[in-house]
């Protein structure tokens, strides 16, 4: 098993985008990239802790590649808006890839460069690519939030 960590706006929709991909073993929503240990949702929402809302994806690389997960990441948010996705504004909603190995870093940087050069977006991609920080699991009511409410996505 391997781990991938992505931030692409509100973690409810990001988790749903990854959860049902064949080869994904589990998804966990949480926080990372900030300066406070074990932050709460309420603290992260103040936009003062520096944390991003994240999804930690545990996957079987024999069934789904990291590059395939990157494709899902790019397709499910706007990587050209800094600290914003749709109506959600703040650094907790930033576009970020936290890598767990040099191979993941190389794949993420190559995918970002290729997409940036493709002309798909009129603005440059602002996605942060950085080493995986400590991951703090979000409160239980956030886990599989949309599924618990009978929703498939929360896209606008």
The residues, any chain, with a CB within 8 Å of residue 6's CB and separated by 6 or more, are: 14, 18, 54, 55, 57, 69, 73, 96, 97, 98
Q: How far apart are CA 90 and CA 57, in angstroms?
A: 23
Q: Active site includes 10?
A: yes
Strands 52-59 and 136-137, bridge-based pairing: unpaired
**Among 4, 8, 10, 44, the one annotated catalytic:** 10
- Tell me if residue 38 falls in helix, strand or coil: coil
Determine contact, residues 87/156, Cβ cutoff 8 Å: yes
Q: State the Cα angle at 125 between 119 and 128, rounded to 5°.
A: 155
Contact yes or no for 24/112 (Cβ under 8 A): no
Report the catalytic residues: 10
């Amino acid at each position: 098993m391997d781990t991938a960590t992505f931030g692409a706006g509100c973690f409810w929709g990001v988790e749903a985008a990854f959860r049902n991909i064949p080869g994904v073993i589990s998804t966990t929503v949480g926080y990372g990239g900030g300066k406070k240990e074990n932050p709460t949702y309420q603290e992260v929402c103040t936009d003062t802790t520096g944390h991003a809302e994240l999804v930690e994806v545990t996957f079987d690389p024999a069934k789904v590649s990291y590059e395939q997960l990157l494709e899902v990441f790019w397709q499910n948010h706007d990587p050209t808006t800094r600290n914003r996705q749709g109506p959600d504004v703040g650094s907790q909603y930033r576009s970020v890839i936290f890598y767990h190995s040099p191979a993941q870093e190389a794949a993420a940087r190559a995918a970002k460069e290729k997409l940036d050069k493709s002309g798909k977006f009129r603005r440059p991609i602002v996605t942060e690519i950085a080493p995986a920080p400590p991951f703090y699991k979000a409160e239980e009511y956030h886990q599989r939030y949309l599924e618990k409410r009978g929703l498939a996505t929360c896209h606008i």
